[in-house]
Amino acid sequence: MKRFRFKSLQVRLAARLAALYVVATVIATGALIYEAYDTASSLNDRELSGRAEDLARAVSRDGAGQTRFALPARLASAYADSTDDIFAIRDAGGHLLTASPVEFGTQVSKWPLAKGDPSYFHITDLGTKEYYGLSVEVGSAAGPLSISVARAAGANALVSSVLREFVFDVAWASPLLMLATLGIGVLVVRSGLRPVREISRVAAGIGPDTTSVRLTSDDLPAEIKPLVDAINHALDRLERGFVVQRQFTANAAHELRTPLAIVTAALEAMQGDSELTKLRADVGRMNRLVEQLLRVARLDSVTLDFDAVDLNEVASSVVATMAPWAIAQGRSVAFVGADTPARAKANSVAVADAIRNLIENAVLHSPPGGEVVVTVQSGARVSVADRGCGVPLDDRERIFDRFWRGKGRKTAGAGLGLAIVQEIMRAHGGQVAVSDNPGGGALFKLAFAFADTVEPSTSSSRN
Amino acid sequence: MRLLVIEDEPRIAEILKSGLRQAGFIVDAVHLCADAREALVLIPYDAAILDLGLPDGDGLELLTEVRTAHNRVPILILTARDAVEDRVSGLDTGADDYLIKPFATNELIARIKALLRRPGGALGLELHAGNIDFDTVGQDVRIGSTLLQLPRRECAVLEHLMRRQGRVVPKSILEEKLYGVDDELESNAVPVHVHHLRRKLQEAKATAEIHTIRGVGYLLTEIKE
């Protein structure tokens, strides 16, 4: 069976601290109580021994050599008034000199004489009370005596109640103290882990676009610093790998251009049949693919410069550029501008590229004679609508993946166009989404994050 | 018509030469800035095709030199796409058009012809699109051998569309052209003229047609059989 483990370091530390504290509290409280009771009982012992000595001083030998016992009046009345305190005194010969009460003396007479260390006893058969006491050998004017003194159980009520109160105090304060300590422990652990949470937040933001970000290890606990340093080194190596790979893609695509241009031009110059037409189309596809690979590689590696861009201007010029191609495909394009200049903080070349890719995609999916409509809306939004078969709900996330191609779709592209659009929008902090075009077809929407439509217009309104 | 091709990649230069020769141009090709500089001074070319990355210098510097020397020869820049982005300003330094590598030879020829069709260009006097012939001096329009009578404003629209054939002419540009003809221009003058012109071309069985690019402008293309 697998043991249940807490995943959170914070919970783990707090739980262990709590367990440690519970054990420590139990031990400390136990030791304290034990010590208190021990002290109380030794106090008791000492009191009993003291009384034995007091009693021994009351024993004397008279001129006739007779042993006499005379308690001072104060003590005599104390013993006479209480049945809590009892005693019996025997001489070295074992004869009972005196006892209070007499029954105790009778019992004691049967016991061996006390020698050396005090011997403890517990009697239950004397009257209605229970007695704890000791027998001790004490020297006196009449020679060594064996004195037994005892006190009724519960007679030292003060000590007991003090003890009980103390134990009770400790008992209810302990859980409170424990909770407080636990709370402090959690807070301390939390604040100790704050730098860890901070670097976790930074680490969560690291992606293919932000490979240069590193985790700071300045405020970190010494135990975690080596881990963070190791992660940073791993990131260094990954970044180098990324750069090499991007560079390779860019170089490969770039190097492919010239031979492709040669092949393209040579094929065009040749006279021939339908086979040649197909070959030209194939080379055309390769050209497009190489071009798009280059775009992707560049988008991955180059940070774009942003300017205030009028989307009306960019979109209409892309429509103008793309129109001859669309018409050659038997489709058409149209532009619907916003009444107010739709300004976005953007890179105009990249935005033009995104719109061009969307138009290309829309034209390729349009029925013959279909019109692709590019619309700019205030709020820095551009949409491209077609009358094709639309994009099924299930595919709407994946169509933006690199090299993704819809099932059964006979498109010329490699599946990079929409991925490029998404990369461009991501670089702008914007979004691209696809939905149904009312009346049929697909509607692609670009939303730029840094829109500024309030800025006064400098260009005249367009048709 | 004589063209200068400035291109250092021998295979591309070769293909350019053969493609342009097939299209009826006389072509000289050089692969160094220095040779190009000399050739442009000696021979009055009708247009030049300039590759930006040359072994002995930068094509853009050559371009600046040529324009500083008041040589107005139409120049089309051939460039890799990244160069366009990084140095798009170069187009403002005096290039007339640019084409991105890899390019289609047909596209290149079309662009060169468009440059030559400009007023003052080598093809600027006689414009052709499909079976439409436009004599800009006499303002005569013929479809095949038939003379087509057009009002002045429609003539102006057609001339401009033919000069820029295969490319979109913004509506605003056509409006500017018509202002020169007619000072009192109605707001929908351009669409109305284009509409009439399109109908007349169709009736005369012209093999070029005018497309409307809604929201942008108009485009004249040849009809392919």
**pLDDT higher than threshold 50 for residue B110:** yes
How high is the pLDDT of residue B106? 80
Q: Percentage of chain A surpassing pLDDT 70?
A: 90
Residue A316 at interface with chain B, using a CB cutoff of 8 Å = yes
A321/B170 Cβ within 8 A:
no
Model confidence band, residue A12 (pLDDT cutoffs 50, 70, 90): confident
**Residue A10: closest CA among A229, A190, A135:** A190
Which chain A residues touch B80 with a CB distance below 8 Å?
A: 254, 257
ipTM score over 0.90, yes or no: no
What is residue A81's three-state secondary structure?
Answer: helix
How high is the pLDDT of residue A454? 44
Model confidence band, residue A175 (pLDDT cutoffs 50, 70, 90): confident
More confident residue, A326 or A342: A326
Report how far apart, in Å, the C-alpha atoms of A148 and of each of A82, A86, A110, A151, A437 are: 17, 8, 12, 10, 111
Which of B80, B106, B215 is closest, CB to CB, to A268? B106
Furthest C-alpha separation in chain B: 56
**pLDDT higher than threshold 90 for residue A371:** yes
- Kindly report, residue by residue over A106-156, the tens digit of the pLDDT: 888 888 887 777 888 888 877 778 888 888 888 888 788 888 888 887 666
How far is residue A86's CA from residue A104's CA, in Å, rounded to a whole number?
Answer: 7
Q: Over range A321-334, report the average pLDDT.
A: 92
How far is residue A237's CA from residue A244's CA, in Å, rounded to a whole number?
Answer: 11
Domain B2-116 has CATH 1.10.287.70: no
**C-alpha of B36 from chain center:** 22
Mean pLDDT over each residue of chain A, to the nearest integer = 81
Residues 6+ apart with CB under 8 A from B81: A291, A294, B100, B101
Q: Which of B213, B221, B222 to mutate to test the interface with A (most CBs of A within 10 A)?
A: B213
- The phi and psi torsions of B217 (rounded to 5 degrees) equal 175, -145
Q: Over range A434-455, report the average pLDDT.
A: 79
How high is the pLDDT of residue A93? 80
For chain A, the residue count is 463
How high is the pLDDT of residue A460? 39
Question: Which tokens sit at A449?
Answer: 């994050």
Question: Which domains does chain A possess?
Answer: 11-159 (3.30.450), 205-302 (1.10.287), 304-447 (3.30.565.10)
CA-nearest residue of chain B to A288?
A: B102
- Kindly report, residue by residue over A404-438, the tens digit of the pLDDT: 776 655 555 667 888 889 988 988 888 999 999 99
> Range with the lowest mean pLDDT among A161-175, A390-404, B3-17?
A161-175
Q: Where are the domains of chain B?
A: 2-116, 126-222
- Cβ neighbourhood burial of A22 (10 Å; 0-12, 13-18, 19+): middle
Residue B147 at interface with chain A, using a CB cutoff of 8 Å = no
A334/B216 Cβ within 8 A:
yes
Cβ neighbours, 10 Å, residue B31: 17
The DSSP result for chain B, as a single string, is -EEEEE-S-HHHHHHHHHHHHHTT-EEEEE-SHHHHHHHHHHS--SEEEEESEETTEEHHHHHHHHHHTT----EEEEEEHHHHHHTGGGGGGT-SEEEEES--HHHHHHHHHHHHTSTTSTTSSEEEETTEEEETTTTEEEETTEEE---HHHHHHHHHHHHTTTSEEEHHHHHHHHHHH-SS--TTHHHHHHHHHHHHHHHTT-SEEEEEETTTEEEEEEPP-
Residue B170 at interface with chain A, using a CB cutoff of 8 Å = yes
**Residue B19: closest CA among A259, A260, A270:** A270
How high is the pLDDT of residue B122? 74
Domain B126-222 has CATH 3.90.380.10: no
Which chain A residues touch B216 with a CB distance below 8 Å?
A: 316, 319-320, 323, 334-335
Residue A282 at interface with chain B, using a CB cutoff of 8 Å = no
Residue B166 at interface with chain A, using a CB cutoff of 8 Å = yes
Which of A257, A269, A334 is closest, CB to CB, to B213? A334
Which of B88, B105, B168 is closest, CB to CB, to A265? B105
